[in-house]
Structure 1
Amino acid sequence: MFSSPLRSPKPCQPIDPEISPLLAAEIAIEFNSLRTPRGCPEGIYITPSREGLLRWNGVFFVHRGPYAGSILRFTLLFPYTYPQNGPTLRFDSDVFHPLVDPKTKIWRAKGRLSSWRTRLDHVSHLLHALKRSFKSKELDSITEEEAANKQVWSLYHHSHQTFLSLTSQRSLHSASRSTLFPEEYPAPPSPTRTRKISGQSMTEELGKQAIKFKELDNEEERRLWDDLKKGLSG
């Protein structure tokens, strides 16, 4: 078991002197809007990085669809030109998805959000679109031209069982102890592979700034379930 991060902590102060007060206010408004009903989709948790307001860390718990069971970390990066230009959503580990560029790990929105519209499009829209893109109905609608990863798109449409098998394997890995708790359960080194596994790469890149998970012991787990039962009965 693990404890999930809070969705709505107070935004930290930007340490980058190039961030203007107006830009800081725009980012703060976007963050506060996620606290409204349906502002932030269920299963997605967001917190500003200690590096400043222009970088947010997020975790996406996928509950339904071919990616069910996946726990995916991502980073939301705002440009200095925000809100004229939209933020970039980049996953912090490899994600087997037709809208995720395999080289940059950037998720590319489709449809209306593929072209950012100032004052009309917001982070909330982006996060809801992200969640929808992992469901079967939305995956069915992605065209080859929209796909950032043509190979995954082709597998989904022409070798669906292979796609499901590979997706299932990656979902299990994303929720494994070595990925969620890399410091407590480091993955054994592989003599045949020089490429770092996604969990190790992610931890080294984000360091102490990322959202971290805490594994619960039996007593903590029991207290958590008791609190949940009391909340439901009350």
Structure 2
Amino acid sequence: MFSSPLRSPRPQPPVDNQDISPLLAADLAIEFNSLKAPNGCPEGIYVMPSKEGLMRWNGVFFVHRGPYAGSILRFTIVFPPTYPQNGPTLRFDSDVFHPMVDPKTKVWHARGRLSQWKPRIDHISHLLHSLKKSFKSKDLDSVTEDEAVNKQVWSLYHHSHQTFISLTSQRSLHSSARSTLFPDEYPAPPSPTRTRKISGQSMTEELGKAAIRFREISGEEGKRLWEGLKRGLEG
């Protein structure tokens, strides 16, 4: 991994556990276990290997602060067969209105040191912390136009901030809507205006089929969970 940019790769067929070497499997297992260490995985971000194999992880990002507060964003981390010499790709499973997210592929691009992946130095923990940081106002303020992957979003953020906040808030509400979180129980009505799918959207929808799913709980079940949480904090 001598300075391998985190760029959008060409779509590749899934790689299951039987198709990877024992050394690569061990590297991925170490990476995943490292997230369990204190400060290994940022608060509000949850990841787990997919059922398809170790080469693909599913994640959810609960944004608590900043202009994206309230957003619930699913994403997928795809590892290349050459990992760790080449870095992984982090792709959102839905539209994310962010200057560092490609609007066609939905791939998030890291900035700074992580824009050039270095083997055995850069790790998934660093990537996730950088992801969380990139959604905060301080980091958004520092994005230059040359760095921005989505120039339109960058321009709105810096030159029409109220419009940016309005559009971001709309997407945040959609990401946390029942029809988004529980599509089987609350299916969204079909949209007559969207008759064509771009290739990036189709690809991420395929990835999203095996992504982390949410289950709506009843009031009584929620009360029991809350009481158990309080007891755990008190103990």
TM-score (norm 1): 0.89
Corresponding residue SS for 1:56: strand
- Give secondary structure in 2 for the equivalent of 1:226: helix
SS at match of 1:27: helix
Q: Residues 223 and 195 (structure 1 numbering): CA distance in 2 closer, same or farther, change over 3 Å?
A: farther
Which residue does 1:148 correspond to in 2? Answer: 149
Once the two structures are superposed, residues 105-149 of structure 1 have per-residue CA deviations (whole angstroms, 9 ceiling, x without a partner) of: 000000100000111100000000000000000000101111110
Contact in 2 for aligned 1:45/1:59 (Cα 8 Å): yes
In structure 2, what is the Cα distance between the partners aligned to 1:202 and 1:95?
15
Structure-2 residue corresponding to 1:78 = 79
Amino acid of the residue matched to residue 220 of structure 1?
Answer: E
Residue 4 of structure 2: aligned partner = none
Q: Where does residue 168 of structure 1 map in the other structure?
A: 169
- Counterpart in 2 of 1:42? 43
How much has 1:83 moved relative to structure 2?
Answer: 0.6
State the one-letter code of the partner of 1:28.
Answer: A
* Aligned positions of 1:55-94 closer than 5 A: 55-94=56-95
CA apart distance, 1:232 = 2.4
5 Å matches for 1:53-202? 53-194=54-195
| TM-score normalised by the chain length of structure 2 | 0.88
Taking the aligned partners of 2:195 and 2:132, their CA distance within structure 1 comes to: 33
Q: After the TM superposition, which parts of structure 1 deviate over 4 Å for at least 4 consecutive aligned residues?
A: 200-204
Quick check: 1:20 aligned with 2:21? Answer: yes
- Distance in 2 between residues matched to 1:56 and 1:212, nearest whole Å: 13
Matched-pair contact (CA < 8 Å) for 1:93–1:201: no
Assess, with a 3 A threshold, how the Cα gap between structure 1 residues 168 and 207 changes in structure 2: closer, same or farther.
Answer: closer
The CA RMSD over aligned residues, in Å, is 1.8
Q: Tell me which amino acid in the other structure corresponds to 1:73.
A: R
- Equivalent residues of 1:92, 1:105 under 8 A apart: yes
In the alignment, what sits opposite 1:32?
33
Number of equivalent positions: 218
SS at match of 1:64: coil
> Which runs of 5 or more residues in structure 1 are unaligned?
1-13
Q: Is the 8 A contact 2:91 2:204 kept in 1?
A: no
